[in-house]
Amino acid sequence: MKKLGVVAFAFVLLGASPPADLEDGAASELSTQRRVQGVITSIDPATLTIATAQRAVTGKIDPARTKVTINGRPGRVGDLRLTDRAKGELCLDDVWLAIATR
Instruction: Give the CATH number of the domain where residue 72 resides.
Output: 2.40.50.140
Q: Radius of gyration of the chain from Cα atoms?
A: 22
Of the pLDDT bands very low, low, confident and very high (cuts 50, 70, 90), residue 5 is low
% of the chain exceeding 70 in pLDDT? 68
Q: Structural domain of residue 32, as residue ranges?
A: 3-101
Would you call 7 exposed, middle or buried from its count of C-beta atoms within 10 A (0-12, 13-18, 19+)?
exposed
Contacts 24+ apart (CB under 8 A), 13-19: none
Mean pLDDT of the chain: 80
pTM: 0.66
Contact between 97 and 90 under an 8 Å Cβ cutoff? The reply is yes
Of the pLDDT bands very low, low, confident and very high (cuts 50, 70, 90), residue 102 is confident
Residues 25 and 17: their CA atoms lie apart, in Å, by 14
How many structural domains comprise the chain?
1
